[in-house]
Amino acid sequence: MSTLSVAKKDFLDVRRAKVVWFVAGIYTLFMVLLFYFGQRNVPEPRVESQLFAITGIGALVIPLIALVSAYLAIAGERESGSIKYLLSLPNTRRSVVLGKFLTRSAVVTGAIVFSFALAAVMALAWYPSLEADVFAGVVALTILYALTYVAVAIGISAATASRSRAMGGAIGFFFVTNVLTMLPGFSIIAAFEYVFNSLLDLGVSQDGLEFIRALLSPTMAYTYSTALAFPDSMNGIPEDIPWYLQGEVMVVVLLAWLVVPIALGLWRFGRADLG
């Protein structure tokens, strides 16, 4: 019950955070524009095409929504000292972390569901078919992807004692998992390839390096997982990829990113000296 009480109190705070709604509004705007212009002057517009495009945009925008909504959830209260009041009630440190995660997850999920609901209305009005199976698959995978970044942000917030450190941790995580794993040539994966293949001569395949990339980046895991939602003809992922790059495995990777940061945050916050 204390977890729910923390979540209810926290919801009153996070719903007033204008920056969260601003970033979420940008995502919704992209969604509306894609579905509007996707059917303009097109003889047979396809919902699949717009959903495929929005997964690419969401791969970059959704981490921002999730991180912005959650990175100060605990660190902000620790810096202001209000965490002592929160813990003076019959709340444990565990209930604080889990309650904050529930609240921020609900806010981010609500923003995503609202965006896709608008898209569904537009699809029913302007497109020949909603293509409900693809639509539902993309929504489910996108929500799971968003929750991984909420979990990371909560974990960072629970492990840090100040706003500046939490912000630095969130920015650093986004930079490493999105920028340094995506850029060709200059990236963490290029460094791994140099060490494994040039220095150690281990002969790690490109598929193996891609698996490392997916392990290091929820964004890459999400990208591979979307193969579960789209037909083979348009998901852009080769059909002959090894089993460890298949969509089902990528869902497991995303679930790991959902659980591990929260567990680490619980461990670190439980050991923290709150003064």
Helix crossing, 163-174 with 132-159: angle to 10°? 140
Q: From CA 237, how far away is CA 273, in angstroms rounded?
A: 48
Using alpha carbons only, give the angle 24, 231, 45 rounded to the nearest 5 degrees: 65
Contact call for residues 2 and 95 (beta carbons, < 8 A): yes
State the 10-residue block means of pLDDT for the chain, 275 residues long: 76 71 87 89 85 91 91 88 78 89 92 94 91 93 97 95 92 89 72 82 85 92 91 65 91 97 93 76
pLDDT of 194 reads 82
pLDDT of 4 reads 81
pLDDT of 185 reads 61
pLDDT of 9 reads 77
Write the pLDDT tens digit of every residue in 141-198: 999 999 999 999 999 999 998 899 999 999 999 998 888 887 666 677 778 888 888 8
Q: From CA 261, how far away is CA 5, in angstroms rounded?
A: 22
Q: From CA 122, how far away is CA 100, in angstroms rounded?
A: 34
Query: For residue 132, which amino acid is it?
Result: A
Q: pTM for the whole thing?
A: 0.92
Alpha carbon distance, N-terminus to C-terminus of the chain: 26
